[in-house]
Chain A
Amino acid sequence: MNHQPPRLARAFFEWFCRPARVEDLVGDIDEWFYTNCQRHSLARARAAYWGHVLSLCFSYAIRKRKRDAKIGPYSSTHSSFIMFENYLKVALRNIFKNKLTAVINIAGLSLAITSALLIYLYIRDEVSYERHNRQADRIYRVTRDFLSPDGEPTLQLGNVAPPIGPLLKNDFGQVEVMARTINFNLVIGLEENGALQKSFNEQRLFLAEPEIFKILDFNIVTGDEQTALERPFTVMLSEQAARKYFGDQNPVGKRLRGNNQFDLEVTGVYKNLPLQSHWHPEMLVSFSTLNDSTIYGRRNLETNWGNNAFGTYLLLGDGFDAKQLEAEMPAFLDRHFGPFAKANYGAPPDFVASKRTKLHIQKVTDIHLRSQLDDELEVNGNINNVYMMGVIGLFIVLIACFNFVNLSTARATKRAKEVGMRKAVGASKLQLVNQHLSESVLTAFFALALALGIAFFGVDWLNRFTQKEITLSLASDLFLWLVAFTLLVGLLAGFYPAFVISGFKSVDVLKGKQGSVPGKGMLRKALVVAQFSISITLIIATAITMRQLSYLNQRDLGYDRDQVVILPYYNELAGSYESFYQELVKSTAIRNAARSSRVPTGRLLDDQGTPSITKGDSLFDSGIPTKYVTADFEFLDTYGIALVAGRHFSKDIPTDDSLAFIVNEAAVREYGWKTPEEGINKDFVYGGTRGKLIGVVKDFHFESLHQKIVPMIFFPNYYNNLSVKISSESLAQGLAHVEKVWKEYLPNRPFDYEVLSENYGRLYRPEQKQSQLFIIFSGLAIFIACLGLFGLATFNTLQRVKEIGIRKVLGASVPGILALLSREIVILVLLANVMAWPVAWYFMSLWLNGFAYHIPMQWHLFVLASLATIVIALLTVSLQTVRAATTNPSNTLRYE
């Protein structure tokens, strides 16, 4: 007897009948069911139940009850819901009635939401670096600073010397796992049947200890992560590299040729690391390969404290504090490096290792945004950019919200009667606030829908712009956030107008007195000032950024960067370089060629300590760290670097091949010589070599303009790069000639060249992007602000139409009326300027100071920006004011 009616049928019925009350009907059919249960089988009772449900669903009774459900005896809805339906209806009517306001609000908000969304996606990508590592929060990188005698860092490296890793692991229990890596630039070739099939210059080849897999997450496709990197001369390939060399074949067990000197056996394949990683190794060669004395040598690994090229990663035990470990570093250095330096590097007895070098334990998640060391593996982002983007996004949303507030408050007077009526029939203040909040939330959601449409295209642009691979997928919780964000924007923007409007006195407004916004629109004015302050700040920032960039492009660097191509220099050329060189310059397309350790636009990272110089008659330690660049006899000529004293290297003077030095003017200044000539032909000791100083070159910008020109020294020695200067008319012809000679002398080496001017452009790419961003966002900001101003002007002139009519009748001129209507706007924009200038000044000074060489702060840019905003604001407003001022007063006053 305890059979229950089919639950699904009842649920369906109750759902179908919403919002009508059908308790009695459910009771009836339940009663039938119990009766039927006694008379017939359960199945028949159930079937009958379904029959009853369907019969009722199709019947007129339910239709009528549903129709009556809103109010009346059959209603099950609470009264506030009824009102919400009414609010919605009124809101929609309002939106369609005031199309201009609605378009301004929705367009402004949707642009703002699109910007905010894109900026959010960008920021989310930037902060997600290394997060693919499951143990990301326990992974650290060891970095090393070198300090000048007065404790200033002269060099900050993300790679450290090879002995440091194992010693750390040995000394500190909290280091659970340690792994070292080193970047080698190797030519990797694939040979088949003794013939070279392909060869590539692999710049992203790393040697790595197998423990790296225990620290960082690699997705290994084939091969065993325990053993794959154990034996010397084995290599694991990324999927991309595997495809490049072996196509679709399984590479495991195959051999690759390294630098034409040794074979590497492929032991596995891993998936390329995600874009959000600080390194992207294409190949991982076993670290034990380094033990081979022809490659590096076991002894070197244990003792070479000077070769800071080893990426050293630590996995700290759970709950250990990296700060604590870092605090132990000075003692660690004094314990290990101090005695070693004294014994081997000729350090004086009072040498304190921790005073000249420092070790830091850096979170791996900080590398991308918070680390700008001198030898980062890849171009990192900048946390300041992330903050800046965040602030800009916030600003744009604020500007759009201000529009919303302004327009709604201004329009409030128009709706005073409606509010009065509602109050008269019993609406509470809270209900009115609800009504207006729901209206602004509705508008915000319209904007969201539009914004999503724009954003789908915007993401493509963003990806092209930032070279990221961001996807906009609404399936994630992003969508929830967006909805929450839109709700918040709608509530924020609707809050003030809602309270103003609901505060109207119904008696006054219904009697016909205009409901007016208290405080003479002070808030409205304040918001317009705020909007324009933000816009002006962004415009000034844009102007200064663009100026600085064009300055960077036009500044005389002190060397000639046009038509120079850079090739790697291989030591196997050393024997035949003279004939190679002659062959190169034989062509008229080639102006000159030179070898050096580094080339301009690169960094200056090598130094061999402080030179000893001759001052007066005595030789003493200058105490000035001096960076060196090895350069052959043609280097200065190839780059057109001017000499200010002494002479170039010369082939006719035998000692020039190793005992001659050339320095730059900065070095002369720092050494304390009064004139460049002072040290010429005097004794000079650098890196343990005692020779003569033969020349001084004019200062030139070897590094980017972010860096100051530092003391530099040139001398011939080993080389890594070959620079070829091509006569300006025929880059292609020149390149063809270089390639021909290259193939002749170095048939096994890939002809991979770089163009110096492109490298130069790359130095300032972050700034270029930044200026483009500024242009786009300041444009957006001013556009949205103008939208709001336009709406406000429309409304204000509409309010004053009769006043203008009377003024005209009394003899006011059109220009007079225009001035009257525009005066307020001009004052507001001027005020905005006053507020924007100090802010722009402060932040742009900070930015400019990031460049060692920059333009002075230019006041006229500020003035221009102000004028531009005033003109834009006036033009915007004039669309309305001109019409109001030229209207025939008989039209506006006809009904008075």
Chain B
Amino acid sequence: MKTYLGELEELVLLTIASLGDNAYGVSIQQELEVRCHRSITIGALHATIARLEQKGFLKSWLGGATAERGGRSKRFYEITQAGKKAVSESKSLRDELWDLSKVKLSVK
């Protein structure tokens, strides 16, 4: 079954992949802001994460207790095989479209 992957969803998935084993709420949000200049609200971020989890592209687990945030544990996210497949499909779709382009797209 082909699942549609939204733009923000794709960004979040890629960001999580880029963060490795330190992908949790705050770090994802900061990374999105620094690297993609996307300032999104915490609610929007978690809504997206929830949707991705629902679609099976993400899995999560609770980490241990932490010292710096009142002892509350972080929930870490990791991209699943389905998630990897979804981003790579998305990428190959784009590559295909790039190749088919009749206009010169790259701007130096």
- Provide the B68-96 mask, 1 if CB < 8 A to any CB of A, else 0: 11101111000000000000000000000
A47-76 CB contacts (< 8 Å) to partner B: 51-52, 54-62, 64-65, 73
Q: Is A25 an interface residue (CB 8 A)?
A: yes
CB-nearest residue of chain A relative to B76?
A24
Q: Contact between A29 and B42 (Cβ–Cβ < 8 Å)? A: yes
Interface residue ranges of B7-44 to A (CB < 8 Å): 24-26, 41-44
Residues of A participating in the B interface, judged by any CB pair closer than 8 Å: 23-32, 34-35, 51-52, 54-62, 64-65, 73
Q: Quick one: given A34-B68, A64-B50, are A24 and B42 in contact (CB under 8 Å)?
A: no
In the bound assembly, the distance between CA atoms of A342 and B69 in angstroms comes to 99
Check A56–B73 contact: CB distance below 8 A.
no
B43 touching A59, Cβ below 8 Å? yes
Bound state CA distance, A73 and B51, in angstroms?
16
- Contact: A30 with B42, CB < 8 Å? no
- Inter-chain contact B69/A34, CB cutoff 8 Å: yes
Which listed residue (A23, A24, A55, A61) contacts B50, Cβ 8 A? Answer: A61
Are A61 and B70 in contact, CB atoms less than 8 angstroms apart? no
Chain A residues near B41 (CB-CB < 8 A) = 51-52, 55, 59
Can you show 18 pairs from A to B with CB atoms below 8 A apart?
A: A23-B62, A23-B72, A24-B24, A24-B74, A26-B72, A27-B72, A27-B74, A28-B26, A28-B74, A31-B68, A34-B69, A55-B41, A57-B43, A58-B43, A59-B43, A59-B44, A60-B47, A64-B54
Please pick, from A27, A61, A73, the residue contacting B46 in the complex, using a CB distance under 8 A.
A61
Chain A residue nearest to B44 (CB atoms) is A59
B101 interfacial by beta-carbon distance below 8 Å: no
If A60-B51, A64-B50 touch, does A32 touch B72 (CB 8 Å cutoff)?
no
Report chain B residues within 8 Å CB of A28. 24-26, 42, 69, 74
Q: Does B49 contact A (CB under 8 A)?
A: yes
Q: List chain A residues, Cβ under 8 A from B50.
A: 60-61, 64-65
Are A25's CB and B25's CB within 8 A?
Answer: yes
Residues on B with C-beta less than 8 A from A31 are 26, 68-69
Contacts of A59 in B (CB 8 A): 41-44, 46-47
Q: How far is the CA of A59 from the CA of B48 in the complex (A)?
A: 9
B106 in the interface (beta carbon within 8 A):
no
Known: A27-B66, A29-B42, A56-B42. A61 touches B47 (CB 8 A): yes
Question: Which residues of B have CB within 8 Å of A29?
Answer: 42
Given contacts A30-B72, A31-B26, A60-B51, contact A25 B62 (CB under 8 A): no
- Kindly provide the distance from the CB of B71 to the nearest chain A CB, expressed in whole angstroms: 8
Q: Which residues of the other chain, A, contact B54 by a CB distance below 8 angstroms?
A: 64
Contact in complex: B68, A61 (CB < 8 Å)? no
CA distance A64 to B48 in the complex (A): 11
Inside 8 A of B46's CB, which chain A residues have their CB? 25, 56, 59, 61-62
Number of residues from B at the complex interface, CB < 8 A: 23
CB-CB < 8 A to A57: which residues of B? 43
Give complex CA distance A52, B26 in Å: 12
CB atoms of B66 and A55 under 8 A apart: no
Residue from the set B24, B51, B66, B75 with the largest chain A CB neighbour count within 10 Å: B75
Please measure, in the bound complex, the distance between the C-alpha atom of A34 and the C-alpha atom of B67, giving whole angstroms. Answer: 12
Residue on A nearest B54 in the bound complex, by CB: A64
Q: How far is the CA of A572 from the CA of B73 in the complex (A)?
A: 102
A163 CB to closest chain B CB, in angstroms?
83
**Are B44 and A24 in contact, CB atoms less than 8 angstroms apart?**
no
Of the listed residues A26, A27, A64, the one surrounded by the most CB atoms of chain B closer than 10 A to its CB is A27
The residues of B that contact A51 with a CB separation of less than 8 Å are 41
How far does the Cβ of A861 sit from chain B's closest Cβ, in whole Å? 77
Set of chain A residues within 8 Å of B70, measured between Cβ atoms: 26-27, 30
Q: Which residue of B lies closest to A32 (CB)?
A: B26
Interface centre among A29, A35, A55 (most CB of B within 10 A): A55
Beyond A24-B72, A51-B41, A60-B51, list 8 extra A-B contacts (CB 8 Å): A23-B73, A24-B25, A27-B25, A27-B69, A27-B74, A52-B43, A54-B43, A60-B47
Cα distance, A29 to B60, chains bound together (Å): 18
B47 and A24 form a contact (CB under 8 A): no
Cα distance, A32 to B42, chains bound together (Å) = 10
Write out the residue numbers on chain A whose beta carbons fall within 8 Å of the beta carbon of B47: 59-61
Nearest 7 Cβ contacts at the A-B interface: A27-B72, A59-B43, A55-B43, A24-B75, A61-B46, A28-B25, A60-B47
Which residues of the other chain, B, contact A26 by a CB distance below 8 angstroms?
A: 70, 72
Q: A60 CA to B73 CA in the complex, in Å?
A: 22
Instruction: List the A side residues contacting B43 at CB < 8 Å.
Output: 52, 54-59, 61
Q: Once the chains are docked, how many angstroms separate the CA of A27 from the CA of B46?
A: 13
B65 to chain A, nearest CB (A): 10
Cα distance A64–B47 in the bound complex, in angstroms: 9
Residues A52 and B68 in contact, CB atoms below 8 Å apart: no
CB distance from A54 to the nearest CB of B (A): 8
Docked Cα-Cα span, A25 to B73, in Å, equals 9
A411 to chain B, nearest CB (A): 43
How near does chain A come to B21, taking the closest CB pair, in angstroms?
16
Chain A residue numbers with a CB within 8 Å of B74 are 24, 27-28
B43 to chain A, nearest CB (A): 3
- Shortest CB distance B32–A (Å): 14
Most buried by A among B43, B60, B62, B66: B43
Min distance, Cβ A423 to any Cβ of chain B, angstroms: 34
A75, chain B: closest CB distance, angstroms: 13
Indicate if the CB atoms of B26 and A24 lie closer than 8 Å.
no
Contacts of B62 in A (CB 8 A): 23-24
Contact of B44 among A34, A35, A54, A55 (CB under 8 A): A55
Q: Which residues of A contact B72 (CB under 8 A)?
A: 23-24, 26-27, 30
CB distance from B92 to the nearest CB of A (A): 29
Q: Shortest distance in angstroms between A73's beta carbon and chain B's nearest beta carbon?
A: 8
What separation, in Å, do the CA atoms of A258 and B51 have in the docked complex? Answer: 95
Tell me the complex Cα distance, A24–B69, Å: 10
> Smallest distance from the beta carbon of A868 to chain B beta carbons, Å?
70
**Separation of A398 and B87 alpha carbons in the complex (Å):** 71
Cβ–Cβ < 8 Å partners of B49 in chain A = 61
A51–B75 Cα distance when bound, in Å, is 21
Cα–Cα, bound, A27→B76 (Å): 12
A54 to B44, CA, bound (A): 11
CB distance from B61 to the nearest CB of A (A): 8
B51 neighbours in A (Cβ, 8 Å): 60
- Determine the residue in chain B with the shortest Cβ distance to A57: B43
Q: In the complex, what distance in Å separates the CA atom of A30 from the CA atom of B43? A: 14
A797 CB → nearest B CB, Å:
54
CB of A521, distance to nearest CB on chain B (Å): 54
Kindly list chain A residues whose C-beta atoms are within 8 Å of the C-beta of B68. Answer: 31, 34
Interface centre among B46, B51, B74, B75 (most CB of A within 10 A): B46
| CB closest residue in chain A, given B30 | A35
A687 and B38 CA atoms in complex are apart in Å by 118
Residues of B within 8 A of A34 (CB): 68-69
Residues in chain B near residue A56, CB distance under 8 A = 42-43, 46
Q: A847: shortest Cβ distance to chain B, in Å?
A: 74
Chain B residue numbers with a CB within 8 Å of A73 are 60
Q: Name the B residues within 8 Å of A32 (CB-CB).
A: 26, 42
User: What is the CA–CA distance of A55 and B42 in the complex, to the nearest angstrom?
Assistant: 7
- CA gap between A25 and B24 in the complex, in Å: 10
- The answer for the CA separation of A52 and B45 in the assembled complex, in Å, is 11
For the complex formed, measure the closest distance between the CB of B15 and the CB atoms of chain A, giving whole angstroms.
15
